[in-house]
Amino acid sequence: MEALHAAGGAPPGWRFSLPGGDPAAGRRAFVDLKCYACHAIKGEQFPLPPGQAATAGPELTGMGRHHPADYLAESIANPSAVLVEGPGYIGGDGRSVMPEQREMTLAQLIDLVAYLKTLGGAEGHGDARRESAEQTAGRYRVRLRYDAAPGGRGGHVPGGHGASPGDLRARGGHGAGSGDGHQGQAQGHHAAAPAGRLTALIVDRVTGQPVPYLPVRARIETPGQPPVTLTLAPELGPGGLVYGAATAAPARARRIRLTVGAATARLSPDEPGAFARSYVVSFDWR
């Protein structure tokens, strides 16, 4: 506790996070709070009056896969904290046109964010292929990312995403990694997609620092194909330590299961044992 106070009251690299919510309840909150009056979502039907369209705020189609949950939560609870230039964002007073939702319950906020995170379609924010996902497991916060090879059939990954413990945005480095034994095989008259990079950034939730000496394996499940299992080797890139491997498999994957084994380094006598456990983290990739 003394160290926590000395660090300013929060562990290094700490960031606010929400517990998991119920997307179905979040959609109900979206309707109950009449968010649809300002925000359109392609493919959704909301009870707007005949002839009326949602135009006051930005369209939310595809929003979920481009912003972390805590950013979405702040955008709802404190919409003027970050101002984005563009139509439907800033009013004449220089503040967000979105009103503060002070009557919203905490449960509604959690569920609404969960619903927004499901909005990962192609419309509005580019290609529909998922590029990254984040989860927590025990002592770890895990950020999984796939960068398709240039010209590959995987989803386009916008540039400029650096890897850092603070924001957990992992980017594939150029270090050695285990290859995918199923890639490079021809399928019909079409060659397999060129290998991209699958990387995992794993940080300690208490200190915010990347955790070394972890055995990491990924099982990539694609409909109609045998699962692909590969080892993610530690590598140092521009953003620091990540675990990565070359593979084309995530380009069409439905689910990726990441196994983080017990740390192979010697643990100090006062270590509570969190690093001695193994965790399996499942990511729904579509």
For residue range 148-160, list pLDDT tens digits in order. 776 544 333 333 3
Q: Give bridge partners of residue 185 from the DSSP assignment.
A: none
Q: Can you tell me the mean pLDDT for 241-264?
A: 90
pLDDT of residue 107: 95
Residue that the structure tokens 């503040």 belong to: 95
> Helix H segments across the chain?
2-6, 23-32, 69-77, 106-117
pLDDT in the model for residue 241: 93
**With contact defined as beta carbons under 8 Å apart, do 177 and 232 qualify?**
yes
* pLDDT on residue 111: 93
pLDDT band at 196 (very low <50, low <70, confident <90, very high): confident
Separation of alpha carbons 69 and 264, rounded Å: 32
Confidence at residue 92, expressed as pLDDT on a 0 to 100 scale: 83
> 132-284 in CATH: which number?
2.60.40
Whole-prediction pTM value? 0.48
> What pLDDT score was predicted for residue 233?
96
For residue 102, name the pLDDT band (cuts at 50, 70, 90).
Answer: confident
255 sits in which H/E element: strand 255-260
pLDDT in tens, 55-71: 677 788 888 877 888 88
For residues 75 and 45, the model is more confident at 75
Q: Is the pLDDT of residue 186 over 90?
A: no
Q: Report the chain's mean pLDDT, rounded to a whole number.
A: 76
* CATH code linked to domain 23-117: 1.10.760.10
Say whether 132-284 and 23-117 share the same fold. Answer: no
Q: Which amino acid is at 17?
A: S
Mean pLDDT of 164-186: 36
Most confidently modeled of 7-16, 126-135, 174-183? 7-16
Domain ranges of the chain: 23-117, 132-284
